[in-house]
Every structure is written in structure tokens, then in C-alpha cells.
Amino acid sequence: MMTFFLAFRNLFRNIRRTIAVLLTVALGAGALFSFDGFIHGVLNEYRDTTIHAHYGYGQIHTKDYRGNVFEDPQAHWIPRADILENTLLDQPGVAQVFPRVGFSALLKKGKTTINGAGQGIAADREATFFHSLNVEEGEHLTTQEDGILLGRGLAKALNASPGDAVTVMATSNHGIIKKDTFTVTGIFHTGSLDFDSRAFRIQIDAAQRLLKTPRIESVALALTSLSDWNSVSTFIQEQFPELEATPFDVLDEVYYQHSVDWLNAQYSVVQFIILAIVLLGIFNAISTSILERKQEIGNLRANGESITRVLLLILTEGVLLAFFGALSGIFLSFALLKLFVHQGFAMPPGPGMTKQFLVTFAFKPSMIVTTVALSSLAALIASLLAGLRVAKMTIAKSLRSY
């Protein structure tokens, strides 16, 4: 306790030196904290786009349906979807369910015929949750019974605009080609070139009529939070053993998970470089401060203090400087970012994307702990190495130092 008191009091003996070290630590800690928040902001935005444009928090299929090819896929679709939907809506953590039917079809407008990937959806439910499905022309598909929502690339290929009529031709489960005419309600883009060039959406009832089936292919889930996925998927496994629930990052492994892994690897390299610069700065500032105090340390040794006690005092001072400096840097960087960048800023398109996305800095309490711990570790190592060098000097040599 006495060592802590003396170390704290020593911080005020040379205010200029203390302020210089504190500023060094604060700048380094602020840079680390800000960069960590930036990384999490980018990944959060990428995750939210995937959830709210494509898959929800996850999807339910019949067991072993995903990853396999069947001669008659519709035979492996989910029957009696109403029972599944009602059961899921009563489950804590489930906010909404979205039954879907996926199918291939030919779209015809005038003399142009294009192959597309269709989705039959409960449009009135999906319009609110899937807000990252950006409608750039027209309006969302909601209650329009004969409406069709086209991806940007598909609409361009068909030369279709809102209000135009488009004929959709699909093969039913009996091998019969069925067709129906729909009115374009809007044109959307998600930023994914491959998806936007093929995808279109119609009402699920219309899709089931085209395919002549009462079944659904999958159910997408909207949860109250990402942390509810484990409990909901466990519930599905226990109550519906013939079904399997798959989270969104597995469903979109190629575009989402691989991109996240790539970004994490890239950011880890940059973060390591920043961390090295920051830690060297802290190390240099504290080492210089200790080496300037050779006479003071010599006086302590001359008055009977052991090397261990002197080192303990130096280490305590270093950790205190790092602790207060890191907290100051974190507070100032957080305040500046919230003041000047609170609305975020536009980032260029990521891998596999065609549109910019808005990034806001995202912070978690664990970031504060990590930043303070790294700063304190750097200060501890610097204090130990410089302190050992000075403390092991002979008393006479220390007292002669200027």
C-alpha cells in the first residue's frame, strides 16, 4: 500500500514528464481503440446487410436438403408449414417467420426471354424486415397479388420498369410448364452483382400455383437478437427432428463468411502494425522517463532501499501512467468520434459487392479492457527493462549521472 501511495505521489513530482508520458499513452490507446471500433463497425454492417437482404438470422429446411441434388426437389420440401410457423412464433426469441419457395423460371418481356432465380415470399411480412433489399425504382412488393420485384441486373436485361408486364414461365412438379403474367412493382439491388442479376420475387401463393405444390422450400427467421440463435435452433432440433436449422453465416459461406475471414486477416495485419507502433511509443516514453531519474533511484538505494523495492516502485508508476493515459485516450477518441463521425462514413464496395455501404464505429466494453491491458503490459515491460538497467547500477554511478 505504501509503495502504491509513493508511486502515485511521484507522478506529480515532475508534471511535464508525467504529461509527456500520459500523452504518448493516450494517443496510442486512442488509436488502438478507434481502429478496433472501425473493424467491428465494418463487420457489423456486412453482417446486417447479409441478414436483412438475404437470409434472415437463419433458415429451416428438411434434413439433408441443403447440399444435395434431387430428381424431385419438391418432394423434400416442408409440408404443413402452418404448424411449423405457429409453433415457432410461440418460441421466445423468434420475432417473425418467413416461408419461402425457390425456383428457376424464364422471364419474358416482349421478344426478350431471360433465365431467373425466383423466390416466392410472404411479401407483406418481408417488406419491413428485409430493409437492405434496396428498392431504387417503384415500391416494395407487399400486398400486390400479381406484383413482381426484379433485381437491377435482371430488370436491365429485360428492359423492364415499374408498371411493365412480365411473363414468368416455370415447370410444375408434374413436369408441366405453367406461366403467369405479373406487373413490375419495383427494382431492387443488394450490392451483390450475382444475386441482383438473377433474382426476382413474387407472392408465395403465386409461386405455389406456378409449381402446383402446397409445400414450402424453407423458412427464414427473424430473431429478437443474434444471441437467440442457439436456443431457437436447439428447440427446432428437439421438436422437429426431420428439419434442420442453418445460421446465415453458413448459408452464405462463400460471399459472407469468406469475405469476413478475408477482412479479419487483412485487418489483423494492419492492427498488428498499429499495435507495434503504439507499444514502441509507450515503451520509449516510459524508458526515457526512468533513465532520466538515475540520481533519484541512486538516492533511494543509498538510503537503504533494496533493488526489489525500487523495481516495484518503478513498475507501479509505469502501470499507473499507462492506466490513466489509456483511459484518457479512450475517452477522448470516443468523444471525438461521436462528435464528428456519429453518422458514419461511406466505404467503397467490399469483395463481391457493387455498392458503397455506410460504416459507423462500433464499440464494446471488452475493447476498453483490451486496450488498457495492452497499454499496461507495454508500460510494465518498459518499466521492468529500464528499471533493471538503472537499479543494477552501482550507487556511486547512479549519483554521478546527470
Give, in order, the Cα–Cα distances in Å from 212 to each of 83, 170, 171, 372.
20, 10, 9, 62
Amino acid 196 reads D
Q: Which residues of 329-360 are buried (b: 16+ CB within 10 A; e: fewer)?
A: bbeebbeebeeebeeeeebeebeebbbebebb
Cell numbers standing for residue 36: 478496433
Tell me the pLDDT tens digit for each residue of 299-316: 777 777 777 777 787 788
Cell numbers standing for residue 251: 448459408
Does residue 178 contact residue 186 with C-beta atoms inside 8 Å?
Answer: no
Distance CA 35, CA 274 (A): 9
Cell 456519429 appears where?
342
CB pairs under 8 A, 24+ apart, for 70-76? 72/173, 73/217, 74/173, 74/211, 74/213, 74/215, 74/217, 75/173
Question: How confident is the model at residue 122, as a pLDDT?
Answer: 93
User: What three-state secondary structure class fits 122?
Assistant: coil
**Phi and psi, residue 187, nearest 5°:** -125, 130
Tell me the helices (H) and strands (E) count for the chain, helix number first: 14, 12
C-alpha closest to that of 313 among 324, 301, 325: 301
Question: How confident is the model at residue 349, as a pLDDT?
Answer: 65
Give, in order, the Cα–Cα distances in Å from 248 to each of 48, 49, 98.
10, 11, 14
Which residues of the chain are under the pLDDT cut of 50? Answer: none
Tell me the pLDDT tens digit for each residue of 71-116: 788 888 998 888 899 999 999 999 999 999 999 999 999 989 999 9
Question: How confident is the model at residue 1, as a pLDDT?
Answer: 63
Distance CA 139, CA 157 (A): 20
